[in-house]
Each structure stands twice: as structure tokens, then as C-alpha cells.
Chain A
Amino acid sequence: MAQPNTGAATPPALPPTQTIRIPPEQKPKTPLGRSLRGLLVPLLAVFTAVLIGSVLILLAGRDPLRAYQGLLSGAFGTDVAITRTLLKMTPLALSGLAIAFAFKGGLFNIGAQGQLVVGSISAAWVGFTFTNLPPLVHVSLAMLAGMVGGAAWAFLPGLLKARTGAHEVITTIMLNYIAALLLEWAVSPASTTSPAGPLAFCLTPGACSGNPNRTAPILESAYLPILYRPGGTATDTLHIGILIAIVAAILVWILLYKTTFGFELRMVGINPSAARYAGIKVSRMTIVTMMLAGSLAGLAGAIQILGVTRSFQTNQNLSAGFDSIAVSLLASNNPIAVLPSAFLFGALDAGTSEMQFTSQVPGELIQVVQALILMFVAADQIIRGLYRIRGGSGDKVSLSSSWGQR
């Protein structure tokens, strides 16, 4: 690879700062017009990010057209490819919901990753421990365990935020690292110098082939039912997780916009002191919001275990919890919009390996493109200025003003 010189890590130059002063909110008349307008900025953000991605590919001396062609065919080219996209989309959608939901309550749940892995090992434990259960009961129980695990892991940052004001961005990231280390220990195989972890599968040193850092495989009764089998390897069968994600998105939307609880939650997110004045118990709300968000992330991890990997392993690619930050923000934290947003990111993930294969572009490019999308969505004024779109963004949840406050 042609290595650019020392200035290699230069972030893409910002577009010229030619923003015009934007007049306050000009609402389109019809609801359809409004939602189309809402789509404009995210779509242009994705487009611009892809464009800058092409420049990065050119800088590395590769062909951007071939790269994106590989990406598209890897994501949509065949039945297997589409199945793979949907499989990648499922955990992204659920943990994206975990972030979007907390965001509405004024919490930036950047630690969905930790909640996801704790949820996945809880589900795996139920999956291989309980025998003689009817399939439907077993799989539901395992998913429930995942949700409980995720909620439990999110309880601590919620409590710390409510009681001491410790900001959830730092506490949840610390808990991500702690979860990773804790689970690594829990499934570590027995060796000549140390005993096996409590959930480890490999109890005699050197007896396991493959990755020894794993739990026992889950029982067949805990497998998620299969929707569609395009005829490939076992990992490429479409399980019902995608339906669960869609149902979850609708339920989260109803909870947020059609219930008193949701109203109170959003009120806390927009103005915690006003909410407190209105008699809402803000600290209890904070804990409950975190735990519900954690249960969604835990469900994402559980579905990944029960539908795809079928045992918990340390080197599994379970980074969905982190990638879903961009998923949620691209959807402006709207639970329904999380679905198409997760679909897009799922497609990017699914197409990565084929892109890498056909064009030799490193797969991390996708991470850069995702970061750029995130940046343009967060700073929508850049996009609005660049393409001269009028109008401003709606109500904003403030995250950083609560630094160190109760």
C-alpha cells in the first residue's frame, strides 16, 4: 500500500465555511413534506461521507468505484448477501434503539457495547445450562436472560449518574472495558498454571481445538427459529431476530410517544430541572431509562448468540454496541428511523469483506465512512451550508451541560 507521508492521518478537510445565516424554522405544510425534508440531511450526510471515502481510497492508490461495487455486491448481490445484511442489521438496530431510547432521556449510553456482551453471555449461560425445556420456552428464557444481563450492567452507570452525577459517557466506557475483562476471565480455559473460569468450556488444558476462550455451545432448543435459508453455511441463515428488532422499535416508539412514562422521560431529557419542578423523580427516571436501554442492548447480544454464534467466544465480533452510536444519531434518535439507519450500517458491514477482497481496500475504511456520517449528522449545519438547505434542527437534548451535576 502506498503509504502517504507523515501527515497520513489528516482528517478530511472541512468544507468551506460558507454557511448562510439560517432563518428560524420554516415548516413545510404537509406531514409528508416534513418527513421527506427530514430525510434530506441524513441522505446527504451519507452521500458526502461516501464521497470523502472515495478520496481516501484514491489516496491509498486504489479504485473507489471497484471498492464500492464490491461493497454493494457484498451487501445486496445475492440472496446470501442480503441475508447477511439483515443479520448484521439486527444487533445494530437493537443496540441502536438502546442508544436512541437513552438519548431521549438525556443520557448518552455510549456503553451499549458492555451491556451487549453481558447480555450475550447471560443468554449463552441459559442456552447451555437448562436442559429438557421446550424450544419456545428455552429461547424466550435465554432472550429474557440477555435483557436482564444488559439491564443489570446498565444499572450501575444509571445509579452513579443519579446519585453522584458521574457522567455516563465515562462510566459506561469504563464498564465496557471491565465487562470485556470479566468475560475474558469467565470463559478462560484451564491451563497448567491457573484454573478455568466459571463459565469456561475447556476444563482440561490443551484439550480444546480452535478458540479455547468460549462457553459451551448452547442447546438446540435455544436456537432462534429460522425464517429463511438461502442455502449457504449455517451462519448465513436468517433467523427471526430481524422481526424482533422491528417489533422492539415499534414498542419503543409507543413507549416514548404514547405513554405518560415516555412523556416524562422526554421531559427529563429536554429539561431535567423543569421535569423535577413538575414533580418527576429525575434520579429514578435516570436509573430506569438506563436499565431499559441496557435491556435492549442485552437483547441484541442475546439474539446474536442464539441466532448466529451459538456460544460465547472472546474473539467474536460483537462490536455492534459501539457502531450503533452512529446508527442512532443518523436516525436522529427516532426509534422507527433506527431501522433504516441500521439497515444502511448493516449493509456497510456485510459488504466490507467483499470490498476488501475485490479492491484490496482495508475494511477500516467503512469505520472512517461511519465516523464521517456521524460527524455530518451531528453537525448538520455543515451539510445544510454545503447544499444550501434551509431550516434548523428541532428540539435538542443537551448532554454535556450536565457534566458533574446532579
Chain B
Amino acid sequence: MDFSTIIAIFNATIRSTVPITLGSLSGIVSERSGIVNIGIEGMMLVGAFTSFTANVFLSADGVAPVLQEQPIRLGLAILCAALMGAVMALLHAVLSIRYKVDQIISGTVINIMAAGITGYLYVGNQNNKGVLPAMIRNPFVPEQGFLYFIGELLFDKGFITYFTLVLVLALGLALYRTTWGLRTRAIGENPRAADTLGVNVYRLQYTNLALSGMLAGIGGAVLVLEGVSFERDMTAGRGFIALAVMIFGMWRPSRAFLGALLFGFASALQSQLQFFDINIPHQFVSMLPYVLTLVVLAGFMGRARPPAHVGQAYEVE
């Protein structure tokens, strides 16, 4: 393997890691607050659809030129994805907090609804308009050898990639070093105790779920704004994989990121198969992330301890 192969595999890994990381962060925020979020898949799908539609809509004729500027247009597309993700998450919150629907069923409602609505509103034959540009160009030239190689690994990534890395660190700090984090962990472990100490459990659950939905929505937006057009059901199980990653990471952002890298690598093998001279049917390579999810669930579920009160509706006395 030469430099270019390593760079290609590394970059493909990062590309698939970013949406899975965002999905698992979404799961962490939600489950740390005591709400199981099976609906990440649907929220990602809605995020992908919204950012795609916003992008296409803003590039149409007759839209103010200011909005057509690439950074503004793509920024708005990401913002819309985050907002719609939050809307879906708030629906999940209303169902599971206000109406005490079983959180697994409520999440399934979100998933089926997301597939239905995006399929209903999707109009075929639209092309993606412009994708997220690399934020910082590689300042080195190929003649610089090793420096260029390092540069290729570090630079030439889209805005959301760097944003995600910052987010992993920031969320880790926020969960363990801030009042918000302490309260969030408290309502996930023992909402009664938190309530007694004056934490508004429901309000925090609502805001955290909105945050969770925004993360999932942005995770969906990456899928579309990185070059592929929207397709029906394009998330292809990433939301569920993200949940497995969350468990693998024991509900901690930085460990979840490591898990996401593993899954990102497994997914990247699909597109980079030509570099390996092994003749296996491509279906088996595509299966890898799903099989890995099963292995992780089987191997880590018993050992990792979920937030104590996750999945149970909290009843204020």
C-alpha cells in the first residue's frame, strides 16, 4: 500500500465516521437524559431530506443572490436540517414524556413517519447543487512528500467534519464539567432525586431531546451535502448503527467517537474495495457494518451499564 491508498482509505473512513458520530452523540444526549431514542434513524433521514430540499430550493432561479452564495446556502441547509431534526425529536419527546408512550414504540413511530413523509414529499430527478467545500486546503504540495501526506490527512475536510470533532470534545466536557451535564446525568440516573433537588426534569428532557434531534439532523445533512443526492431511505440503518456505537462507547462521547471510527472503517471498505486484491462478493463487504453492530451489541451490552433510569417514563408526584 502506498501513500495515496492510505490517504484514500483514511478519508473514506472519516467520511463515514462523521454521520455515525453525530448519530451516536444524539443518542448519548438523549439517553443520558433518560429517553431511549430509537428514532435517530428517522431524524437523520429527515435531516438529509431537509438539507437536500433546502439546498435545491435556494439554488432555484429567483432566489435572492445573497442566499445563493455557497456558504450561506449550505449553512442554511444545515440549519434547516438541524431544526427539522429537532421537530422530529420533540414529537418523540411529546409522545414519550407527555403521553408516556413506550419509548421504543414512539421511536418506531418516528422512523416510519420519517420514511413516509420524506418519500411522499420527495420529487425525483433533482440534482444536488454544490457540496460542502473543503474548509482548509492542504497547504503543502506533493513535492514535499511526508508533509503533503500529513496535510492530506488533516486538511481538505468539510466544515461539519471539524465541527463534529470539536463537538465530541465539547460534549464530553459539558457532560462532566458543567451544571447542565450534571443535571442531565442526574435525570438519566435518578430523576426523582434530581426533581427533589429542584431540577425541572421534563423541561430538561425536552431541551435535551431537541438537542439530540439537531445532532441527528446534522448527521443526516452530512450524507447529502457531501455529494450524493437524496434517495428514499438513504440512511440505511446508520441511526441504529449509531446506537450500537453509543453502547460500544459506554454512553461517553470520546469513546463513542472511537467506536464510530471502527464502523467508519468498516463502511469505508465498501468503497475502497478495489485497493485490496481479494475477490469476495461486494454484498459481504456491505454487510460488515451490520455484522459488526451485532457483535458489539452481543459483546458490550452486558458489560456497559446504561443510565439507570433510561426507558422509563418519569412521573412527577
173-201 of chain A: CB within 8 A of chain B: 173-175, 177-178, 181-182, 184-185, 188, 194, 197
Measured between beta carbons, the chain A residues less than 8 angstroms from B291 are: 174, 178
Residue of A nearest to B297 (CB): A166
Known: A6-B80, A364-B120. A17 touches B98 (CB 8 A): yes
- The answer to whether A167 and B297 have CB atoms under 8 Å apart is yes
Q: Within residues 18 to 65 of chain B, which ones have a CB less than 8 A from any CB in chain A? A: 36, 38, 46, 49-50, 53-54, 57
Q: Of B118, B304, B305, which is in contact with the most chain A CB atoms at under 10 Å from its CB?
A: B118
Contact assessment for B53 and A400 in the assembled complex, using a CB-CB cutoff below 8 Å = no
Report chain A residues within 8 Å CB of B108.
108, 110, 169, 325, 374
* Interface hits, B259-317 → A, CB 8 Å: 279, 281, 283-284, 286-287, 290-291, 293-294, 297-299, 301-302, 304-306, 310-312
B88 to chain A, nearest CB (A): 7
Interface centre among B80, B95, B113, B244 (most CB of A within 10 A): B113
**Contact, CB under 8 Å: B310 / A403:** yes
Known contacts A367-B112, A375-B95; decide if A329 and B105 are in contact (CB<8 Å). Answer: yes
Given the contacts A160-B297, A368-B116, A169 and B283 also touching, CB distance less than 8 Å? no
Question: In residues 88-108 of chain B, which contact A (Cβ within 8 Å)?
Answer: 88, 91, 94-95, 98-106, 108
Chain A residue at minimal CB-CB distance from B99: A379
Question: Is there contact, CB below 8 Å, between B101 and A379?
Answer: yes
Contact of B74 with A by CB under 8 A: no
Proximity bits, A358-390, B CB within 8 Å = 1, else 0? 000010110111111011001101100000000
A399 touches B102 (CB 8 A): yes
Interface bin, chain B: 35 or more
Q: Report Cα–Cα, A184/B119, bound state, in Å.
A: 24
Instruction: Report which of A164, A374, A400 forms a contact with B103, defined as CB distance below 8 A.
Output: A400
Q: Per-residue 0/1 for A143-172: is the Cβ within 8 Å of any B Cβ (1 yes, 0 no)?
A: 000000000000010001001111101110
Q: Are A6 and B53 in contact (CB under 8 A)?
A: yes
A36 to B213, CA, bound (A): 39
In the assembly, what is the distance between CA of A208 and CA of B87, in Å?
A: 48
B206 at the interface (CB under 8 A from A): no
Kindly state the separation between the CA atoms of A183 and B297 in the bound complex, as whole angstroms: 23
Contact A178–B290 (Cβ < 8 Å):
yes
A108 and B109 contact, CB distance less than 8 A: no
In the assembled complex, which residues on chain B have CB atoms less than 8 Å from the CB atom of A372?
Answer: 113
Interface size on A, residues (CB 8 A): 67
B117 contact set on A, CB distance < 8 A: 9, 11, 368, 371
Contact B119 A364 (CB under 8 A): yes
A14 engages B94 (CB within 8 Å): yes
Chain A residues touching B, majority SS: helix
Bound-complex Cα distance A308 to B209 (A):
45
Which residues of the partner chain B approach A177 to less than 8 Å between Cβ atoms? 236-237, 287, 290
| A403 pairs with B306, CB closer than 8 A | yes
B298 and A160 contact, CB distance less than 8 A: yes
CA distance A166 to B100 in the complex (A): 24
CA distance A318 to B51 in the complex (A): 30
Report yes or no: B121 in contact with A173, Cβ–Cβ below 8 A. Answer: no
- Contact A182 B120, beta carbon cutoff 8 Å: no
Q: A9-B46, A166-B297, A368-B113 are in contact. Are A173 and B237 (CB under 8 A)?
A: yes
Q: Kindly list chain B residues whose C-beta atoms are within 8 Å of the C-beta of A397.
A: 102
Which 6 pairs show the lowest CB-CB distances between chains A and B?
Answer: A400-B311, A367-B116, A364-B119, A166-B297, A371-B113, A368-B116
| Chain B interfacial positions (CB closer than 8 Å to A) | 36, 38, 46, 49-50, 53-54, 57, 76, 80, 84, 87-88, 91, 94-95, 98-106, 108-109, 112-123, 236-237, 240, 243-244, 247, 279, 281, 283-284, 286-287, 290-291, 293-294, 297-299, 301-302, 304-306, 310-312
A178-B290, A184-B283 known; 14 new pairs, CB 8 Å cut-off, are A4-B121, A8-B53, A60-B120, A160-B294, A163-B298, A164-B297, A164-B302, A326-B112, A364-B122, A369-B116, A378-B95, A400-B312, A402-B311, A406-B302
